[in-house]
Amino acid sequence: MRRFVPVVTASLLFAFNCAAQAQDYPVKPIRLLSPLPAGGMVDNFARVLAQHFSDAFKQPVTVENRTGASGTIAAEAVVRAPADGYTLLLATQAILVLNVYAQKTLSYDPLKDFTPISPLFYTPLYVVVHPSVPANSIKELIELARSQPGKLSFASIGRGTSVHLATEIFMSMAKVNLVHVPYKGTGPAMLDMTAGRVQVMFSGGGTGLPLVEAGKLKLLASSAERRTIATPNTPTVAEAGVPGYESIAWFALVAPAGLPKAMVDRLHREAAGMQKSKAAVDRFAKVGAEMLPGTPEQLTARIRQEFPLFSQIMKQAGIQPE
């Protein structure tokens, strides 16, 4: 009993210390790591979130762009950081799900090495085709692809990316075969799409929708569960001919594993506040992004649910870890 009392006392002191730190949090600047380059939509979102946090916490919140290796460079930096609330990560779907199957050796475990804080936003993909393609709906595209198996091609921004996998899911559910043409980024893919060298693409709104407005591409559908704010008159893929189809690229806020619950709660509360901001909602809707509210538990559930789905799709597509 003499040994037990000091241990219990030490444990209680540690718990009280953590609670006090959480209550005072934050008392110094916070780093928000973004895995994508400056200037893009994800970086833009990170800066809006950082400004919201700065205003709420009365502490500077700076965005650091740690790009490369499908987000693993940024992820590793956060995993190595102390769980004190001063290093956060705007995590991509690739970091939390796809890299598990796309990379031979992953240096982190998405479920064990991060503290989930909040889903943040998602980007539906938009099914666009070259104007020369004789299809003005998803049903017509499916009929065309079935009548000419292996002749229509689709562009992606790389093997194993969300754009690629969204198309693989579509082909599996619609029972069609399109030839995959991977590109190193959105720019080269869109150049060949607008030139007609490839015919189909599941494109992000920020790049695809302006080309639709310019008459260089045709818009057939969006990939989300419901119609998007940006294109309310455009049907979803599920509405237009593939019941049950949904594929989005989503993003979330996480921290190193072991972040105290009081800090998680405060960060989640402020993130939710930003998601309710009409100015933020309208700003990102213009580029095809929509808020994805949810709890830390719902974020964990989403990750777990997507593991088997993308494992199966990657196997069907013959994608080998690299």
In the predicted model, is pLDDT for residue 7 greater than 70?
A: no
- Dihedral Cα 232, 238, 240, 243, nearest 10 deg: -150
CATH code for the domain defined by 4-123+249-316: 3.40.190.150
Parse the chain into domains and list their residue ranges.
4-123+249-316, 124-240
In the predicted model, is pLDDT for residue 222 greater than 60?
A: yes
Question: What percent of the chain has a predicted confidence (pLDDT) above 90?
Answer: 79
The mean per-residue pLDDT over the stretch 44-72 comes to: 96
The predicted-structure confidence for 85-120, as pLDDT tens digits, reads as follows 999 999 999 999 999 988 889 999 999 999 999 999
pLDDT value of position 120: 98
DSSP-derived secondary structure letter, 320: P
Q: Which of 151, 75, 154 is nearest to 113 (CA)?
A: 75
The mean per-residue pLDDT over the stretch 65-74 comes to: 94
Domains 4-123+249-316 and 124-240 alike in fold? yes
pLDDT value of position 17: 54
Q: Which CATH class is domain 124-240?
A: alpha beta
pLDDT value of position 19: 54
pLDDT band at 9 (very low <50, low <70, confident <90, very high): low
Question: What percent of the chain has a predicted confidence (pLDDT) above 70?
Answer: 93
Judge contact between 288 and 205, C-beta under 8 A: yes
The predicted-structure confidence for 73-89, as pLDDT tens digits, reads as follows 999 999 999 999 999 99
pTM over 0.75: yes
Judge contact between 267 and 255, C-beta under 8 A: yes
